[in-house]
Amino acid sequence: MKLNVGRNELLGALSAVIGVVERRQTLPILSNFLLELQEDQLVVSGTDLEIELQARAQVENLTPGRATVPARKLYDICRGLPEGADLTLEVSGDKATLRSGRSRYSLACLKPDEFPAMGSLTDDIALTVPQHGLKILIERTQFAMAQQDVRYYLNGTLFEVSAERLRAVATDGHRLALSDLAADTGVAETQQIIVPRKAVLELQRLLDNTEEPVTLKIGGGQLQVDLDVIRLTTKLIDGRFPDYERVVPDNGDKRLEAPRETVRRALARTAILSNEKFRGVRLTLSTNKLVLQTHNPEHEEAEEELEVQYDGTPLEIGFNVNYLLDALGALVSDAFVMDLRNPDASGLIQAPEDGSSRYVVMPMRL
């Protein structure tokens, strides 16, 4: 295999795929890229057996073929070469030689036949949405995913596809994030899939804030996402996601409305003196007034008093301050509303006139 390629073109493909290659691997082949030369395109593949990433780069094809090369080493070499440099990559036997100007690098290769493939995907469902729409869905929900929870079905995001919308839901059992994207999916019956945490975060990294289309194909326990020259394929989590609609409160009789950024900054300041382990903040509500209070084992305290819109009965309730900060950070509106019922009931946070993104936070005793 032999090809000529610009450094920027090759680096773009390597950068798209490198995120799925773990630094420590049980199988040596998983620390390699698979390179496949097809006509005037080089296809770069990487996998961790759960997720497969592929990216294409325009090249000058001198001798077609397949090869594997050490992923991190090739990526670091290309990144360190001058901007706009021209490269020649030649693979012969178990050696790959990379040349650029007067520089030469020789890398050890493994047999390409050993590189694992994800297997073919049965295309049961296919839909197309704008890249920025899918990116926003992920950004507004991914922070609520669990991490290494024994309830494995929480270590990812639920994507629910119905006829007129794509919905993302994430929860770690203490808070829940939900966001909707209007889309003409063409799906007759509502379908649910759970996408693993790592695949969700890779998608967030790869998606652009553009109107360019992204195609999602679901089938055979896999999700395939096509973004122009990049393709992500991931296994899905086989489990039953909690009935999230039962968790979203709809009977709050007390409503707080306030400037989002003002409250977010006040929470960030009071969080400095919160208990580092429990991260609790007390919210005390009275007519048009909100008081935030935190304290820690060093007997340090913080208190912020804010003017808000509230005409319900007085209420004291505790929350994890990080959960409130995450929810307010995900909203983009100038103001937010928080529906409450009593100190033992979850709070619901959303924009005043837009329920497309909703955040449920469980209370905590302080």
pLDDT in tens, 177-188: 999 999 998 888
CA distances from 20 to 45, 143, 163, 303 (A): 10, 19, 32, 44
Residue spans per domain, the chain = 2-114, 125-245, 248-361
Nearest to 123 by CA among 249, 244, 6, 216: 216
Whole-number pLDDT of residue 26: 83
Radius of gyration of the chain (CA): 25
Given this structure, which CATH class describes domain 248-361? Answer: alpha beta
DSSP code of 152?
A: G
The DSSP element (H or E) to which 184 belongs, if any, is: none
pTM score of the predicted model: 0.94
pLDDT in tens, 92-135: 999 999 999 999 999 999 999 999 988 777 778 999 999 999 99
Query: Which residues have a Cβ under 8 Å from the Cβ of 127 and sit 6 or more positions away?
Result: 161, 166, 183, 185, 186, 187, 215, 216
Query: Which residues have a Cβ under 8 Å from the Cβ of 69 and sit 6 or more positions away?
Result: 32, 33, 35, 91, 96, 107, 109
Whole-number pLDDT of residue 25: 79
Whole-number pLDDT of residue 288: 97
Joined together, the tokens standing for residue 309 give 């819109």
Give the percent of the chain with pLDDT over 90. 92
Joined together, the tokens standing for residue 251 give 């009977």
CA distances from 258 to 261, 281, 292 (A): 9, 17, 13
Can 2-114 and 125-245 be said to share one CATH topology? yes
Q: Tell me the CATH architecture of domain 125-245.
A: Roll (3.10)
CATH superfamily of the domain spanning 2-114: DNA Polymerase III, subunit A, domain 2 (3.10.150.10)
pLDDT in tens, 176-228: 999 999 999 888 899 999 999 999 999 999 999 999 999 999 998 999 999 98
Weakest-pLDDT range from 10-14, 22-26, 148-152: 22-26
